[in-house]
Chain A
Amino acid sequence: MNLTDVALEIRRRTLKSLYSAQSGHPGPSLSIVEMLSTLFFKEMNIKGEERDRFILSKGHAAASFYAVLSILGHISEDQLLTLREMGSPLQGHPVKGTLPLVDASTGSLGQGLSIGIGYALGIKLKGQDRRVYVIIGDGESQEGQIWEAAMAAPKFKLGNLLVIVDYNKYQNDGAVKDIMPLDPLADKWKSFGWHVQEVDGHDMDALTEAYQNARKERDKPSVIVANTMKGKGISFMEGEMSWHSKAMKPEEYESAMNELGVKPDE
């Protein structure tokens, strides 16, 4: 499967599970699809004990992460439909220990980057060549702990750490610029001592190139400020604030799946 096909499939399965659950976060899950596609199907080493670490610090985007895990064969298509049900390994926010490749229990924003630093330090102490990838949100970047972590990673010269900011410009109650503006965001990271790149977060070639550039930094942690759109891939969800956390009606689901090239009964 090429990355574009993967991204499409991630979107399909994301919506399938969200529709079944009638609860969850479509907007934030869809904005990270290209990141997930490039990370899990090209960039990261996800096999075996000595694999890379991945933390979805913005844990509410779980639905698309689970979609990835199902494509990788860790979740069956039936199980996908149990999202958010009691007893399902597909908890509302990812829980370490329930599924493979879940390296932290996230959902309480601001903590995942620090956990990633802990992993990166441990890996470095062992003298291993593994990498740590953390996706954080823009709203999440308002949490003070993110900046505690931002100060720390350069101190420890964590060249094995890559952070991607899902800069989709909206959060729970409004636009980031109205709630608590972050700009100039890239400048902030730069001033903290990070290697910084800004890319179109839906351009998989740009993302892939950015990962390569990040790998070259041996003594500095890297951050990619990915400009994205909430709800990307579904025309009526794109940039629409209300789709942060909303259940799809049947006609909305049908329409969305149509756009993704899926017939209603598939």
Chain B
Amino acid sequence: MSKSTRDAFGESLLEVGESNKKIVVVSCDLSGATRTKAFGKKFPDRFFEVGIAEQNGISVAAGLAMEGFRPFISSFGAFITGRYDQIRISCAYTKAPVVIVGTHAGLAIGKDGATQMGIEDINKMSGIPGMQIFQPADAIETKQIIEYLSKNNELAYLRLSRQPQETVHKPDYIFEFNKGKVLKEGKDLTIIATGDTVQSSLQSAEELAKKGIDLDVINISTLKPIDKELILEYAKKRPGIITVEDHSIIGGLGSRVCEIIAEAGLKTKVKRLGINDCFGESGKPEDLYRKHGLDKEGIIKSIKEFSENL
């Protein structure tokens, strides 16, 4: 089954919106692309279209949160996190618990190009005190995260993808806040991945197993706070960890893993796979992934080199 996490979000929002009347949506003219349109059709009184004015939208959402509602505001990740001070002050410092949804994560969006791609969004949001950060790996996880967010009342950033993704979790998967999920147990090295890259990490691990490299694959879907315990558990067991994200290698999953390992004084070597401090560009998603080594073959190549140089 293949579904984008933005689609899963839209469907799930409709479901939770039915039972939780406090949920409201602030839209910035991207309700179609960010899949909040169906909510708007079903609950027009709880849907506030502010147009292409994200600064206003974010602070409006904060006001709604402080009046007792549970607001979701969505736009492309690049744009919404780009209105940084409103998130930092209207939401975080003011303690107004809004769910900020940033879709169109990473290179994977393809042809629209650099300006539309959320590449530094996790980095931006990570530095904000009190911000929880989530990135689901598939539709199953997305729905559970939405259910979780509809019940808790914390400030959160939810990073979603545009393109359909394969299911990586079993049907009985239960999302746990701040708990990474070991999807495959190996014995040589560990891949820690997030979001869209989890599926390609699993595919790479499957192929490398035939070549005698037995990898663990871990999905981290809560990026802030982060499951230090699990990361350290595997850092102690293995000589090397590879992190994979469709995000800059600066300030995202890879950076967090490095911080944790270094502070614990471990000797585990880390290879960060992601976007190497540059902008994206237009192109077919598969071409872009190939160029940045984020496709299955690219990941395999990087892991082989990493393994040989340990």
Interface residues of A (CB under 8 A from B): 95-97, 103-105, 107-108, 110-112, 114-123, 125-126, 144-145, 148-149, 151-152, 156
Evaluate contact between B66 and A118: CB separation under 8 angstroms: yes
| A209 CA / B99 CA spacing, docked (Å) | 41
- 7 tightest Cβ-Cβ pairs between the two chains A and B: A118-B63, A122-B67, A114-B59, A148-B56, A148-B53, A105-B94, A118-B60
Evaluate contact between A111 and B86: CB separation under 8 angstroms: yes
Q: Does B184 contact A (CB under 8 A)?
A: no
Taking A114-B63, A118-B62, A122-B67 as contacts, is the C-beta distance between A144 and B94 under 8 angstroms? no
Evaluate contact between A115 and B45: CB separation under 8 angstroms: no
Report chain A residues within 8 Å CB of B189. none
Interface residues of B (CB under 8 A from A): 24, 45-46, 48, 50-51, 53, 55-69, 71, 85-86, 88-90, 93-96
In the complex, what residue of chain B is closest to A119 when comparing beta carbons?
Answer: B63
Chain B, interface SS category: helix
| A105 CA / B92 CA spacing, docked (Å) | 10
In the complex, what residue of chain A is closest to B49 when comparing beta carbons?
Answer: A155
Central interface residue in B58, B63, B67, by most chain A CB within 10 Å: B63
| A210 CA / B239 CA spacing, docked (Å) | 73
15 A-B residue pairs with CB within 8 Å? A104-B94, A108-B88, A114-B56, A114-B57, A115-B62, A115-B90, A117-B60, A121-B63, A121-B67, A122-B63, A122-B67, A123-B67, A145-B86, A152-B53, A152-B56
Evaluate contact between A116 and B63: CB separation under 8 angstroms: yes
B43: shortest Cβ distance to chain A, in Å?
Answer: 11
Evaluate contact between B90 and A96: CB separation under 8 angstroms: no
Evaluate contact between A115 and B85: CB separation under 8 angstroms: no
Report chain A residues within 8 Å CB of B57. 114
Taking A108-B85, A111-B89, A125-B45 as contacts, is the C-beta distance between A117 and B55 under 8 angstroms? no
| A103 CA / B50 CA spacing, docked (Å) | 22
Report chain B residues within 8 Å CB of A108. 85, 88-89
Identify A114's interface contact among B45, B60, B71, CB under 8 A: B60
Identify A105's interface contact among B53, B58, B89, CB under 8 A: B89
| A119 CA / B51 CA spacing, docked (Å) | 18
| A189 CA / B188 CA spacing, docked (Å) | 66
Report chain A residues within 8 Å CB of B69. 122, 125
B40: shortest Cβ distance to chain A, in Å?
Answer: 14
In the complex, what residue of chain A is closest to B88 when comparing beta carbons?
Answer: A108
Evaluate contact between B59 and A125: CB separation under 8 angstroms: no
In the complex, what residue of chain B is closest to A55 when comparing beta carbons?
Answer: B63
Identify A117's interface contact among B56, B65, B85, B95, CB under 8 A: B56
A117: shortest Cβ distance to chain B, in Å?
Answer: 5
